[in-house]
């Protein structure tokens, strides 16, 4: 069936993915029972079972009761959940499926581009990878006193580097349930197992963090404010309680502050309590523009230095030209005003929808950011219902880490400039649409 060169579960998973990729195994093919594969390949059943779990998580195979294990699809790593969440959005008159910022609320770059100094150094391989002026301005409102600060090509780049440098394939890591799909795709691509943290209105529950520690997770990934998709912000009390639950355990804490300056809540980090364990990322994509591709990341030297070293084998550093543009934007009164105005406008758009939904008996949790997590009776029926009204929403299931009896859609309120009353009406109807009713 497969040529096995690496006799680990990962090696077997890889060999089987390759067999699917080159057509030796096709969609619908039944795989032999685990014990048969184990004895054929002289592996332990546990190794085969671990390989099967990895393949199932990547969507390559499916185990289905009496039908046994079958091949489901091509197993190339990639943003599969992310694509599923955004599927079929091209033909709608209102697209609230994307989670992206409103381009009209981003600061104009012209003045910053003109102000970037042209004289002096034109840049060298040997320069400091972080502009000292940027480091200084970031320190101004960084949520804790971090030992080191670096700059990456956006938050996803920082997350990718952290996983590649500090975690091992097969590690179990804790993520919030629900979770941003590209994060789950990233973990799958590296062969990690995800442990879901239950959330309430204050962030991940302390009980679920304790359960994650008992499962010996090597890292915990949190979104400290404006969580995507729910909009929940971690409260200071919950952050302190989570830090206490993690004290004494060797768990890396990764904080993804992807909303950055468009969040209404103040910056917050567990770094206040666990500075030697926290990597805190702030993205500038939502506040200053996705095409700047910039994020800042802080942490202890013991964690940041290996990442900087690894980067030297790739892009090396994040363009200092772009860093200089960001410095201008962070220091310029007009740009600061534009970002403040965007933050207020996102809050207005969000509360117009959340308020209307609450009045109509559809309460949503979360208070901040670009998205809401709309509870619906049936995901497919709600999507179809909205599609019938020309509205694209994101399916909730690609965000799932735990099995969840409650269906949701993610709605990007940040993109809804007007017509809130009408949209509330459509969302309320969609929330009540049931599987057999379809579009009304
Ligand atoms: C939770 C989360 N993390 C990371 C990102 C990506 O950020 P960046 O554009 O900085 O890579 C997003 C973008 O939507 C996000 O929602």
Burial of 288 by CB count in 10 Å (0-12 exposed, 13-18 middle, 19+ buried)?
Answer: buried
∠ CA(146), CA(220), CA(159), 5° rounding?
A: 70
SS3 76: coil
Residue spans of the chain under pLDDT 70: 1-6, 18-19, 21-24, 73-77, 83-91, 118-121, 435-440
Architecture of domain 80-104+336-432: Alpha-Beta Complex (3.90)
Q: What is the pTM of this model?
A: 0.82
pLDDT per residue as tens digits for the range 180-194 = 999 999 999 999 999
Geometric angle at alpha carbon 186, from 134 and 174, rounded to 5°: 90
What does the alpha-carbon distance between residue 220 and residue 417 come to, in Å, rounded to a whole number? 35
Hey, what are 128's tokens? 């400091």
113-331 CATH: 3.40.640.10
Atom of ligand 1 nearest to the CA of 284: 10
Task: Please work out whether the CB of residue 318 comes within 6 Å of at least one atom of ligand 1.
Answer: no
Q: From the CB of 287, is ligand 1 less than 6 Å away?
A: no
Identify the bridge partners of residue 297 per DSSP, sorted by sequence position.
150, 281
- Contact (CB, 8 A) for 323 and 174: no
SS3 416: coil
Structure tokens at 265: 């809540």
Which among 256, 260, 290 is the best mutation to test ligand 1's pocket, defined by most ligand atoms within 8 Å of the CB? 256
Same fold, 9-71 and 80-104+336-432: no
How many other CB atoms are there within 10 angstroms of residue 88's CB atom? 10
Residue 249 in tokens = 């355990």
Taking 3-state DSSP, the helix, strand and coil percentages for the chain, each rounded to the nearest 5, stand at: 45, 15, 40
Give 74: exposed, middle or buried? Use CB within 10 Å, 0-12, 13-18, 19+: middle
Give CA–CA dist 91/157, Å, rounded.
Answer: 31
Ligand 1 centroid – CA 100 distance (Å)? 9
Atom 15 in ligand 1: residue holding the nearest Cα: 258
Is 256 close to ligand 1, i.e. is its CB under 6 Å away? yes
Residues 6+ apart with CB under 8 A from 281: 152, 155, 158, 159, 254, 255, 256, 257, 258, 295, 296, 297
Which of 103, 156, 225, 373 has most ligand 1 atoms within 8 Å of its beta carbon, as the pocket-test mutant?
Answer: 156
Cα separations in angstroms, 318 against 124, 127, 182, 259, 280: 12, 12, 21, 20, 17
C-beta 228 within 6 A of ligand 1:
yes
- Residue 268: how many other CB atoms lie within 10 Å: 23
User: Which helix or strand (DSSP H or E) is residue 346 part of?
Assistant: helix 333-359
295 lines ligand 1 (CB under 6 A): yes
Element at 150 (helix H, strand E): strand 148-152
Ligand 1 within 6 A of CB of 263: no
**Which ligand 1 atom sits closest to the C-alpha of 294?**
10
Over residues 292-324, the pLDDT tens digits come to: 999 999 999 999 999 999 999 999 999 999 999
Please say whether the beta carbons of 198 and 205 come within 8 A.
yes
The pair of structure tokens assigned to 278 is: 């926290």
- Calculate the alpha carbon distances from 432 to 55, 115, 359 in Å: 35, 53, 15
Using the atom order of ligand 1, give the atom closest to the CA of residue 180.
1
Give the bridge partners for 395, in sequence order. 409
Query: Quick one: 23 exposed, middle or buried, by C-beta within 10 A (0-12, 13-18, 19+)?
Result: exposed
Looking at the CA of residue 157, tell me the nearest atom of ligand 1: 11
Supply the pLDDT for residue 6: 66
Instruction: State the Cα–Cα distance between residues 77 and 188, nearest whole angstrom.
Output: 7
Atom of ligand 1 nearest to the CA of 290: 9
Q: What is the CATH architecture of 9-71?
A: Orthogonal Bundle (1.10)
Tell whether ligand 1 has an atom less than 6 A from the beta carbon of residue 99: yes
Tell me which long-range contacts 271-274 makes (C-beta under 8 A, separation of at least 24): 271/143, 271/144, 271/145, 271/146, 271/298, 272/143, 272/144, 272/239, 272/243, 273/239, 273/240, 273/243, 273/244, 273/247, 274/243, 274/246, 274/247
Reading the block at residue 164, the tokens are: 């590649």
Specify which residues 253 forms β-bridges with.
220, 278
Domain boundaries, the chain: 9-71, 80-104+336-432, 113-331
Please spell the DSSP secondary structure of 220-274, one letter per residue. Answer: EEE--SS-TTT-----HHHHHHHHHHHTTS--EEEEEE-SGGG-SSPP--GGGT-
């Amino acid at each position: 069936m497969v040529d096995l060169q690496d006799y680990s579960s990962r090696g077997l998973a890889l060999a089987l993915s390759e067999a699917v990729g080159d057509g030796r195994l096709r969609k619908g093919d039944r795989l032999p029972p685990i014990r048969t594969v184990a004895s054929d390949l002289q592996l332990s059943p546990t190794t085969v079972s671990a390989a099967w779990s990895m393949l199932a998580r990547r969507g390559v195979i499916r185990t289905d009761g009496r039908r046994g294990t079958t091949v489901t699809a091509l197993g190339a790593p990639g943003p599969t959940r992310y694509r599923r969440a955004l599927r079929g959005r091209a033909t709608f008159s209102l697209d609230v499926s994307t989670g992206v910022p409103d381009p009209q609320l981003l600061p104009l770059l012209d003045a910053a581009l003109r102000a970037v100094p042209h004289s002096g150094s034109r840049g060298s391989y040997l320069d400091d990878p972080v502009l000292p002026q940027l480091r200084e301005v970031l320190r101004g409102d960084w949520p804790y006193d971090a030992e080191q600060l670096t700059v990456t090509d956006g938050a996803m780049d920082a997350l990718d580097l952290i996983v590649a440098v500090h975690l091992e394939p097969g590690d179990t890591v804790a993520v919030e349930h629900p979770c941003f799909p590209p994060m789950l795709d990233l973990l799958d691509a590296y062969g990690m197992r995800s442990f879901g943290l239950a959330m309430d209105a204050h962030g991940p529950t302390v009980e679920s963090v304790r359960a994650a520690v008992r499962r010996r997770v090597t890292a915990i990934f949190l979104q400290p404010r404006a969580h995507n998709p729910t909009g929940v912000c971690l409260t200071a009390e919950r952050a302190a309680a989570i830090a206490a639950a993690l004290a004494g355990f060797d768990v890396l804490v990764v904080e993804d502050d992807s909303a950055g300056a468009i969040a209404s809540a103040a910056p917050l980090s567990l770094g206040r309590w666990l500075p030697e364990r926290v990597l805190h990322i702030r993205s500038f994509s939502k506040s200053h523009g996705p095409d700047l591709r910039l994020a800042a990341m802080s942490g202890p030297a013991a964690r940041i230095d290996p990442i900087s070293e690894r980067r030297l084998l790739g892009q090396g550093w994040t363009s200092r030209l772009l860093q200089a543009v960001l410095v201008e934007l962070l220091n310029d009164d007009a740009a600061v005003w534009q970002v403040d105005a965007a933050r207020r406008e996102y809050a207005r758009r969000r509360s117009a929808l959340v308020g209307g939904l609450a009045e109509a008996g559809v309460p949503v949790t979360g208070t901040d950011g670009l998205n809401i997590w709309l509870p619906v009776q049936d995901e497919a029926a709600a999507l179809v219902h909205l599609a019938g009204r020309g509205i694209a929403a994101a399916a909730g299931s690609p965000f799932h880490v735990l099995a969840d009896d409650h269906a949701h859609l993610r709605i990007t309120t940040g993109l809804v400039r007007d017509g809130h009353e009408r949209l509330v009406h459509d969302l309320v109807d969609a929330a009540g649409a049931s599987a057999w009713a379809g579009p009304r």
